[in-house]
Chains A and B, each alone.
Chain A
Amino acid sequence: MATYLLRRLLLMIPTLLGITLVVFVVMAASPGGISAQSLVEGQNLDPEAKKEIEAYYNKLYGLNDPPYMQYLRWLNNASPIGFVFDEENQIAGFSFTKGSDLGRSFRYGRPVLDLLGERVPITILLNVLSIPLVYILALLVGVRAATERGRSFDVSSGVIMLALWSVPTMLAGVLMIGFFANDQYWHWFPTAGLSDRQALDMPFMPHWANLGDIGLLFLSIAVFLSLYLYLARLSDLRLRAGLFALTGLGLGLAMVDGLSEQSQGLMLWILLPAVFALCSGWFATTEYDLMRVLGFALAGLVVGVLVAIYVMQGVWLRGYLVDRIWHLVLPVLCLSYGGFAGLAKLTRTSVLENLMADYARTARAKGLSDHVVLWRHVFRNSLLPLITVAASLLPSLLAGSVIVESIFSIEGMGKLAVEAVQTRDRELVLSITLIGGVLTLIGYLIADILYAIADPRVSYD
């Protein structure tokens, strides 16, 4: 295992070299390229000052050198071991401890490492929140679809997942921000950023002016949660569906009521509640207990919180934590639905493959219940391909965060990447390529290691 790891780590080096070289060549070979002139361009200066600044940039970033020298210098600076230079730019010696220096950004004039240190954690936060969500939901849907093969749940979930998978992230993001974070429609969520400015001064947990309100909140949530959990367990299908459809109707009416006067219309008053009622009624008729309970619990939570907010009198301070969650809801949703749909389809295939395998048939033949066969024998084996997919999920989530961060104006790595290429910021572009490549490769590596741990048949020696 150790030699394998070492080999993989060493193989990462040529890959990273290749990626950064490609990006550098693209930048250097482009018309205009990267030059001091292009950096000074557009600034309204007299010619002498312009020349001075150009000379300064040339000296600072070595833009006068031939491109291959520029690349080699960048490489030397970025790699943790390499040559060190003295004052006159002569090689002074070879060092193993010089550490890596990604240079200074052209545009921000700050060390790239600092910039990335600010931005990368935000992107990682988004992804770390999305991945568990994606996996849990995908397993819920995928396993059920496989066991119900060919029946209504399988067919309908298959179509819905494929449709969800095809919805472009841009569309989802734009519609979400347009309808749910806009004064014209429902301004439920913030439009931009990850926290309000005031929230930085708030305490971590939410605070209420009077204690009664907290009690009220908890009481309301508890009452409605238990009510809906009880509803979810009702065996009378019609009663269940009817009551849940009523909830949908109420929520829909409340939504239209929340609109401003000029956007309300008769059509909307009829259509939105009707659609809500139909969807929730249909959802309540599903025979998949776990999903139904989860859905009902969510509805109970929403209704409970809404009622509490409506009844509560006192002033309250939402605190840092709630503010952050409030800001994260839409971006995380937007980032995760595509991965969820793709993964659910994959889970279905994987579970189905194992359900039809010989060992599953043997287990059934020896008299084990379907439940035990599924969860004890088949499920664990079906997880193996999902581990491999986790590796490729990471790059796609990183790419997704480029879009999500641009839509929701989150200052993460994705937005930085777009800004960097738009402003032709050489150091930043190269560094982001490097970091993106490293993250992707580490993702692949972790997936391989997990694979070996999860499946004893796999060995890399």
Chain B
Amino acid sequence: MTEAVSRNRQSYWRRILGDTLVRWGARLGLVWVALLALVAVFAPFLASSIPLLVSQQGEISSPVLNYLTPLDVVLLCLFFTLLILWFLPMGLGKKLLILLGIGLLCGLAAMKWIEPPRLIIYEQYRVAESAGAYDWVLKAPIPWSPTDYLRDFGDTGLERPLDDEQRAHWFGTEQNGADVLSRMIHASRIALGIGFVATGIAMLLGVIIGGLMGYFSGVVDMIGMRLVEIFEAVPTLFLLLTFVAFFGRSLYIMMVIIGITSWPGYARYVRAEFLRLRKQDFVQAAVASGLPLGSILFRHMLPNGMGPVLVAASFGVASAILAEATLSFLGLGLVGDPSWGEMLNQAVQSSSFNWWMAAFPGGAIFMTVFAYNLIGEALRDAIDPYLGRAS
């Protein structure tokens, strides 16, 4: 009895979060995503041909720091800000604002001051090391950079996982001799970034359009639904293909396009929720007290109608990652930067079938998509326990 009462006192969101987290599927999914995020943030320290620390005649220096790109620095800054903010007692909105501000500041500062050398000669450190120039060297756990083709060894090419005792490539190498695991680690950024940003854009558009549709109903709803129908009939993959083929291959364009083409689903959910909520007393009270539209929509109605949107968002992240992988697989992905889909494509391009080139990047895509789907499923069961597995 007391338990039931205290349960009711919890806020809606806390309860949903708690109900989600008791499910092992959600836990596993979250663990994987968190691991991926860590790997993505610390990628330059995890997989790099450049030593982390070297001691040269008693003088300790860290060469890897010289090679950090602005993006690396921004990600690190954001990560540590997030870590600090997590423990500070503060409202969620304030935290988000601070995070955004620091992100922007870091971005500007990094763009201005950080200039990694254009030409990176990976061999120089290996050569210097074998020549005995250093007292000791601390290398990254995976001592290969994603675009380090190991030209100094001379015999590089395809290698099975753990084929060579001296040069341990955990997941083997691709045709040019670059380490597959290192490429995967650096590609995790693309997968995570595209998932979050594309879904964020889609969610923003969907919530605004769907919210207006549901709140006003009538003519606005009619027009909005036609818009939704048009966008749903657009063959998304094909539009993406066209966009990417005609407008250079940029990660940002991909994010925006995936976002723009996938908002109708969110709009539908928000519309349905808002149609249900608009005549309820608390909304009427908010209207009667003369609150501005933005406040009614986003402060009062949205938190009560956000459940289905979050479920859809979780699945949406998964499908955005899949969309990027598909594009890269079809040979329309980014140039230069490895991505999981592009690595799968590489596996097909080579004359012989090398299972490690397909299985590991493909497995990473699968694991990530599966993790998001598990989280989405658990969220849905928590929000709507009526049809869940536990009866």
Number of interface residues of A (CB under 8 A): 59
B21 in the interface (beta carbon within 8 A): no
What residue of chain A has the Cβ atom nearest to residue B245's Cβ?
Answer: A421
Interface residues of A in 162-218 (CB under 8 A from B): 162-163, 165-171, 174-175, 177-179, 182, 184-185
Given contacts A30-B246, A185-B353, contact A174 B330 (CB under 8 A): no
Q: Are B362 and A23 in contact (CB under 8 A)?
A: no
CB within 8 Å of B: which A402-448 residues: 402-403, 406-407, 417-418, 421-422, 424, 429, 432-433, 436-437, 440-441, 444
**Chain B residues with CB under 8 A of A422:** 245, 331-332
A-side contacts of B374, CB under 8 Å: 162
In contact, A30 and B247 (Cβ under 8 angstroms): yes
Q: With A30-B246, A170-B344, A432-B238 as given contacts, are A178 and B322 in contact (CB-CB < 8 Å)?
A: no
A178 vs B358: C-alpha distance in the bound complex, in angstroms? Answer: 9
Q: A158, B389: Cβ atoms under 8 Å?
A: yes
Chain A residues with Cβ under 8 A from B373's Cβ?
Answer: 162, 165-166
Question: Is there contact, CB below 8 Å, between B241 and A170?
Answer: no
Are the C-beta atoms of B233 and A444 separated by less than 8 Å? yes
Interface residue from A154, A166, A398 paired with B389 (Cβ < 8 Å): A154
The tally of CB-CB contacts under 8 A between chains A and B is: 142
Q: Is B391 an interface residue (CB 8 A)?
A: yes
Contact mask B230-253 → A, CB, 8 Å, 1/0? 100111111101110111100000
Residues of chain B within 8 A of A22, CB atoms compared: 234, 239
Please tell me which one of the listed residues B242, B325, B332, B390 contacts residue A150 in the complex, with CB atoms under 8 A apart. B390
Which residues in B have their C-beta under 8 angstroms from that of A436?
235, 238
B101 CB to closest chain A CB (Å) equals 34
The reply on A42 being an interface residue by CB < 8 A is no
**Contact present for B237 and A399 (CB under 8 Å):** yes
- A81 in the interface (beta carbon within 8 A): no
Cα separation A155 to B238 with both chains bound (whole Å): 36
A11 CA to B358 CA, complexed, in Å: 44
Segment 348-375 of B: residues with Cβ below 8 Å from A: 348, 352-353, 355, 358-359, 362-363, 365-366, 369-370, 373-374
The chain A residue sitting closest to B247, CB to CB, is A30
8 nearest A-B residue pairs (beta carbon)? A171-B362, A30-B246, A166-B370, A178-B353, A421-B245, A166-B369, A399-B237, A436-B235
Instruction: Give chain B's interface residues, CB within 8 Å of chain A.
Output: 25, 226, 229-230, 233-239, 241-243, 245-248, 318, 322, 325-326, 329-332, 341, 344, 347-348, 352-353, 355, 358-359, 362-363, 365-366, 369-370, 373-374, 377, 386-387, 389-391
Chain A positions within 8 Å of B, measured between CB atoms, are: 11, 14-15, 18-19, 22-23, 26-27, 30-32, 149-150, 154-155, 158-159, 162-163, 165-171, 174-175, 177-179, 182, 184-185, 349, 352-353, 356, 395, 398-399, 402-403, 406-407, 417-418, 421-422, 424, 429, 432-433, 436-437, 440-441, 444
